[in-house]
Amino acid sequence: MSPIPEGRKSVDGGDDPLYTSRFRAVLKLAAEKSNWGAPMPAGHGRGMACIYSFESFIAHVAEVSVEKDGTLRVNRIVSAIDCGTAVNPDGVRAMIEGAINFALGPVLTGEITIKDGAVEQSNFHNYQVLRIDQAPDIEVYIVPSTEKPGGMGEPGVPPLAPAVANAVFAATGVRLRRLPIDAQLLRKA
What are the pLDDT digits (tens) for 76-115?
999 999 999 999 999 999 999 999 999 999 999 888 889 9
pLDDT tens per residue across span 135-180: 999 999 999 999 999 999 899 999 999 999 999 999 999 999 889 9
In a domain, 100, yes or no: yes
**pTM of the complete model:** 0.87
Distances (CA, A) of 174 to 42, 51, 186: 14, 23, 7
| pLDDT for the residue numbered 128 | 85
Residues near 55 by beta carbon (within 8 Å), at least 6 away in sequence = 16, 83, 84, 148, 150, 151
Does the structure show a pLDDT above 90 at 124? no
What CATH number corresponds to the domain at position 125? 3.30.365.10
Cis peptide before 39 (omega within 30 of 0): no
Bridge partners, residue 65, by sequence? 44, 73
Residue 9 has pLDDT above 90, yes or no: no
Number of structural domains the chain divides into: 1
Residue 38, in any domain of the structure: yes
Residues of the domain holding 24: 8-172
Question: Under DSSP, is residue 118 helix (H, G, I), strand (E, B) or coil?
Answer: strand
What are the start-end ranges of the H helices in the chain? 20-34, 89-108, 160-172, 183-187
pLDDT of res. 143: 95
Mean pLDDT, residues 33-47? 96
Q: Is residue 180 part of a domain?
A: no
Out of 31-40, 152-161, 177-186, pick the least confident: 177-186
Average pLDDT over residues 71-75: 95
Cα(163)–Cα(77) distance, integer angstroms = 9
Residue 108 domain-assigned? yes
The answer to whether position 177 is within a domain reads no
**For residue 165, is it within any domain?**
yes
> Which pLDDT score is estimated for 1?
39
Q: Are strands 137-142 and 72-82 parallel, antiparallel or unpaired?
A: parallel
Is residue 182 situated within a structural domain? no
Q: Is residue 186 part of a domain?
A: no
DSSP-derived 3-state class of residue 132: helix
Distance CA 60, CA 62 (A): 6
For 21-87, where are the E strands, in sequence order?
Answer: 44-53, 56-66, 72-82
Residue 44 has pLDDT above 90, yes or no: yes
